[in-house]
Amino acid sequence: MLVRRLLGLVILIFGLMVASSSNATSVAWDQIWFPNGVFLTEGASMSYTHDLTSGNSGLHGDPFDPNADCVLTADLWVKFFDDFSLQYLFTREKVKVYMDGTLVETRTLPDHFFEIPFFGFEIEHFGVNLAFIQDDGMLDVRLKAKKGDFSVLYSKLLITHEECNDPVPEPATLAMIGAGALAMARRRFTV
Ligand SMILES: [Ca+2]
Ligand SMILES: [Ca+2]
């Protein structure tokens, strides 16, 4: 008797969890570290891929399934280190950012010549087109030193996502619509 009751409770809790999780917003993020920094001389570039699917063992949060989940927000942060090289003392150092093979932005990195410290770390934020994540749950990133030289220390991609809801009306809604239509039809015939 007690076992049956407990079993019923477990099923109820499980059912509630499934019901509540269907619309819950999840977070997934992937951080790639370059411990010694990747130094980019002018014109040089580097490429890497952020993987937000369950295939990535280093992933944090809830994996993103492009076939079942819809991405809501996507943000990329890249940490740069400018070296205060004399060669580019009066140069506005610039990085070109490509996502999924598309040039998204040319960003001017903060100038540390007129600031203290003379060399410094910068965390730059980039908005990410949701379509780049939705297609395969991955983001290909390419960073190119357009002007000057600097190092890249890490890259972090963070998204929020939820299960995609099919806009299929529930049977109860359909029954109501049907009843309404029937009532209207009846009224039309009685007038
Ligand atoms: Ca992609
Ligand atoms: Ca530099």
How far does the centroid of ligand 1 lie from the alpha carbon of residue 53, in Å? Answer: 11
- Least distant ligand from the CA of 80: 2
Indicate whether 190 belongs to any domain.
no
Residue 4 lies in a domain: no
* Residue 180 belongs to some domain of the structure: no
Q: How far is the CA of 30 from the centre of ligand 2 (A)?
A: 27
Neighbours of ion ligand 1 (CB under 5 A): 100, 132, 135-136, 138
pLDDT (tens digit, 9 = 90+) per residue, 90-147?
Answer: 778 899 999 999 999 999 987 666 555 556 788 999 999 999 999 999 999 999 999 9
Computed from CA positions of residues 116, 121, 127, 129, in that sequence, does the dihedral angle turn out positive or negative? positive
Instruction: Return all residues near 63 (Cβ < 8 A) that are at least 6 apart.
Output: 28, 52, 53, 54, 56, 137
Mean pLDDT of 163-180: 61
The token duo for 86 is 């004399």
Per-chain mean pLDDT for the chain = 82
Q: Which domain holds residue 64?
A: 26-163
Distance from the CA of 31 to the center of ligand 1, in angstroms? 16
- Residue 1 within any structural domain of the chain: no
pLDDT for res 31: 98
| Mean per-residue pLDDT, 46-58 | 97
Predicted local distance difference test score (pLDDT) of residue 108: 92
pLDDT at residue number 9: 55
Query: Which 8-state DSSP code applies to residue 44?
Result: -
Output the pTM of the full model: 0.73
* 137 domain residue, yes or no: yes
CATH number at residue 93: 2.60.120.1200
Length of the chain (residues): 191
Residue 122 inside a domain? The answer is yes
- On whether residue 129 sits in a domain, the answer given is yes
Query: Does residue 175 lie in a domain region?
Result: no
Yes or no: say if 145 and 88 are a contact pair by the CB < 8 Å rule.
Answer: no
The closest of 154, 155, 159 to 137, measured between CA atoms, is: 159
User: How many domains are there within the chain?
Assistant: 1
